[in-house]
Chain A
């Protein structure tokens, strides 16, 4: 038996993947990850600049007009209603970066779970099942995610995000949107999530951006139940604040 183990060990060292990087022994992403501030010793981990967001002409004009209207309303101090202001969660992929809130990754061989602290959002990435056809997934906030390891990179494919879910930079999207993420450790405690959005209906070409995270070994995730929302939307669609006793 011992001889067999030695032989197996010898063979394993000949495999193409370094120990800790093969699909059978992938890097462990379990932990709490906070948005990385790329300053000081972390400056070298700054993510690359985001690619351009290019919408098809029929979507581009209304999108630009909406953005201009939002900016104008915001300047007046009368911000327009958003899902967030009404405590509606952000969904995939926006939930991966909400202000300075962390995300927690729980990695098991068959499922990787990602919990966003803001709004307590939960994504499940199935590691042992193939992706379904897009027409078979009920559109929702998190859709259906299937993952696999490409060497030391976790690749997550997500489909089934419903069009009403807030898009990247507020972009419109269709039920055909596909989000591909590549999670890679740049250092033991530094993670990049490269996010690529494809949408044959809305986008002229795929758009990519990368989020950088830092592992927070001692951080305890905080609950987030939106039960005291004093912001409300008035009949003009403007976000207002309730003041007690007024």
Chain B
């Protein structure tokens, strides 16, 4: 995909990440975006963060597992998410910022749900409701 465009987007959103409730997000590389296409193995609607667990299969057939951090239920529901938006077995496409030092860790930017809807991850990250 057009990585220059993605990098440009990442720089733009970096400036509008809101004050944080739980922890600093500098552990994620906001200059880099990775697209993860795979099968959801879990969707945790919990505090302080929601998580998408997803298995992505690459071209050589290797499965890589990702734990993708999101905002909290309160922040996400304002962006159109529900506790039932994803379930085990769903196919989803996630755009994420990878963790700088934990392989398989990432912070969601946007998610394409099985019904085609694209949802963001709180103010300044992806499509807004």
Contacts and interface: CB of A to CB of B under 8 A. Distances in A.
Interface of A: 74-79, 82, 84-85, 87, 97-101, 117-119, 222-231, 239-246
A230 B122 CA distance: 19
Interface of B: 18-24, 26-29, 42, 44, 46-49, 51, 53, 65-67, 69, 72-75, 77-78, 99-105, 122-123
Interface centre among B29, B42, B72, B74 (most CB of A within 10 A): B74
Nearest to B123: A100
26 contacts: A74-B26, A77-B27, A77-B29, A79-B23, A85-B23, A97-B19, A98-B21, A99-B20, A100-B122, A222-B77, A224-B74, A225-B47, A230-B49, A230-B51, A230-B67, A230-B69, A231-B23, A231-B48, A239-B24, A240-B101, A240-B102, A241-B105, A242-B102, A243-B102, A244-B53, A245-B67
Contacts, number: 109
A118 B21 contact: yes
B24 A228 contact: no
Contacts of A223: 47
A229 B72 CA distance: 11
Given A99-B18, A224-B72, A241 B99 contact: yes
Interface centre among B27, B29, B51 (most CB of A within 10 A): B27
A77 B102 CA distance: 11
A228 B46 contact: yes
B105 A77 contact: no
Contacts of A118: 21, 72, 74
A243 B47 contact: no
A181 B102 CA distance: 43
A225 B67 CA distance: 20
